[in-house]
Amino acid sequence: MSDGFNLDLRNAEEEIDVPESFDGSVVLGVLDGTTPDGEWLNEVHDGNVLLLAVDGDLNDLAAGFAGDVKDAGGTLMHFREFLVVAPPGVGVDADRL
């Protein structure tokens, strides 16, 4: 006597939505105004994710590159004292926050 269920995995692989591979790097840094905005933009354009500790006013510090990242389809998310900046095609999952 079985109370289990039937699980057919033959077609499971076709049903799974696998994200494209991430070929970039995760770049750790401090957003304090000493790094030129162009350097942060170059990192994102190269496909890298930025995890930046914010040291100062976030709006002022990110003003020089945030709009360009958003316009290109990237993502910016403020999490605690950090700014996460992801290039287009790299999702930031905040479901567990």
β-strand pairing of 49-54 with 26-31: parallel
**The one-letter amino acid at 5:** F
Both tokens assigned to 71: 């316009």
| Whole-number pLDDT of residue 56 | 97
- pLDDT band, very low/low/confident/very high, at 13 (cuts 50, 70, 90): low
Both tokens assigned to 19: 């994200």
Handedness of CA 11, 17, 20, 24 (dihedral sign): negative
- pLDDT band, very low/low/confident/very high, at 17 (cuts 50, 70, 90): low
23-36 residue pLDDT tens: 889 999 999 999 99
The gap between the terminal CA atoms of the chain, to the nearest Å, is 43
- Which range, 12-26, 37-51, 82-96, is most confident? 37-51
| Whole-number pLDDT of residue 10 | 64
DSSP structure class, residue 96: T
**The one-letter amino acid at 71:** D
